[in-house]
Structure 1
Amino acid sequence: MQFYVYTSFLTALLLVSPSLFASVWSENELHIQYGDLNQPFADIPGTESDTTIFTFQHASGWEHGENFFFVDYASADDEDSLYAEWYPSFSTASLLNASYGGVLKNVSFVMGINMAPESDVLKYLPGVQLHLDVEGFQFLNVLLTAYLDDSEGIDAGGAPKEDDSWMIDVAWRYPLAVGSQQFYIEGHAEYIDERGSEIAGLNVRSWVLAQVQVRWDAGNVLFNAKDRLFVGIEYQYWKNKLGTREDDNAVQALAVWRF
């Protein structure tokens, strides 16, 4: 029940946010990805399943900060699942009149939320984000947060509750022109530290997750519509996937519609 209360609250907030925080820029994307992904909790370790992932992703900026969230719907051979992350941030340059120089463009306060309804997982990620100014990158951000568990646990029929931990995540977008063709290399890489769980003697292993997309601006070539339709691949490397001893090393087909 606790998870659905938070989910309803988050959904309502996202629906009314355009009227609360007038956006100065906004970017929405629909993604479709397909590939063979490792299922770390399958009965047979190392089992891979054909997996299709549909993603809605939103990023926007307003006077005093930014919003970023995504919702994944994953359909595998044996099950479907939902997962969402939301990161509202507040700019110190705007709110505190702080000034920065060199490679550091801005610092933001962040309050992240991660949710997985099937397993009743709820995490809070308070922290800071460093906005870096590096030549060639459209954006390059480093996120440092706590990783605080508020899941309901085994007694409520969900995944085991976990101890608190911390996370570092690097996200980027790098445009690359090859002749008359436009490409983008973008993605993120995260590290989440090891933590204990409510199952005695079982630790959730620290993991490294890197998801890198190589996109070709197909819409510009096919329909003379720049930065609207992209095709390409996403490479995923996940060491100790979801805290297990299983790894993922997969290439997925990718299509993106931006609006």
Structure 2
Amino acid sequence: MQKTLLALAAASLVSIPAQAEQFWSDTSVSLLNGSNYEFAKDVDITTMTLEHVSGHSWGNLFFFQDRHKGGSYSESYGEFSPSFTLTKLSDDGFFKDINAAFTYEFGTTQGGQSLDNYLFGIGSNLNVPGLDFASATVYMANNEEFYGNSKDYQLTVAFGYSSGNFGIDGFMDYSFSNDVDSKKNSMNFTPQITYNIGPMLGTDNKVKVGVEYSYWTNQFGINDQDQNAVSLLLKAHL
């Protein structure tokens, strides 16, 4: 399975035209503040995030970098996630396309351990009535030392909805543990609920205020290590 997904990703890269076009892009910086995070209990955590998403003639690119800081706690985490269009389907159908997807998860934990995970998958952008965008991807995750060199499968769903200056967007990761007996199935559901105050500030750029809700069952596959946290959010689009 892993060899097949690697071959598909390689084929997608080879097929990218020399005159690749960028159709749209969005870059933002965010500031989150909250508590009740499972990885830093009883500590008020501030998270700074740089995020980028863009659409190209060859597919899509998503990237973000987090920096968590609170008291003596500090941690970094990021993802680099391109997807390559293998074939276009009907714009009117439920599945718009079929994509080869890759995600590189990286970071440094509080204890100083490095985090390097590699995910290979197949996904599709979806037509869901009422939503601005939606996608679903099935990954095979190759987790490195920090996770015990385990392999598992993950379903990732992303979505977005807006009405005027009000918006809800986020993701859901569901990890199926099939390689390490001690690990459990895990679900991470994290939406952001925001309101754009850019017009009030006299700027065309979006400046969003709101909350992020993090609901994560069996965090990192650890049984009954559940997270239920709400953070205040300020997000400026550049």
State the alpha-carbon separation in 2 of the partners of residues 37 and 135 from structure 1. Answer: 34
- Select 1:113's aligned residue among 97, 104, 109: 104
Deviation at 1:21, TM superposition (A): 5.2
2:127 corresponds to which residue?
A: 133
- Select 1:189's aligned residue among 137, 153, 172: 172
1:243 corresponds to which residue?
A: 221
1:55 corresponds to which residue?
A: 49
State the alpha-carbon separation in 2 of the partners of residues 55 and 232 from structure 1. Answer: 15
Establish whether residue 25 from structure 1 lines up as the match of residue 24 from structure 2.
yes
SS at match of 2:71: coil
8 Å CA contact 2:141–2:152 kept in 1: the answer is yes
8 Å CA contact 2:152–2:179 kept in 1: the answer is no
1:88 corresponds to which residue?
A: 82
Establish whether residue 228 from structure 1 lines up as the match of residue 194 from structure 2.
no
State the alpha-carbon separation in 2 of the partners of residues 251 and 83 from structure 1. Answer: 19
State the alpha-carbon separation in 2 of the partners of residues 20 and 113 from structure 1. Answer: 26
8 Å CA contact 2:89–2:98 kept in 1: the answer is no
1:161 corresponds to which residue?
A: 148
Q: TM-score, normalised by structure 1?
A: 0.77
Q: CA RMSD in A?
A: 2.0
Percent identical = 24
Deviation at 1:196, TM superposition (A): 4.9
Gaps of 5+ in 1: 1-18, 154-158
State the alpha-carbon separation in 2 of the partners of residues 65 and 38 from structure 1. Answer: 34
- Select 1:219's aligned residue among 198, 203, 214: 198
CA deviation digits over 1:13-63, x for unaligned, max 9? xxxxxx9954221110101100003334x6xxxx33100011111101111
Deviation at 1:73, TM superposition (A): 0.4
SS at match of 2:93: coil
Q: What is the aligned length?
A: 216
Q: TM-score, normalised by structure 2?
A: 0.83
Q: For residues 99 and 67 of structure 1, do their structure 2 counterparts lie closer, same or farther at Cα, with a shift above 3 Å needed?
A: same
State the alpha-carbon separation in 2 of the partners of residues 20 and 223 from structure 1. Answer: 37
CA deviation digits over 1:190-221, x for unaligned, max 9? 11122555xxxx72322111111111011122
Q: For residues 21 and 84 of structure 1, do their structure 2 counterparts lie closer, same or farther at Cα, with a shift above 3 Å needed?
A: farther
The residue type equivalent to 2:195 in the other structure is: W
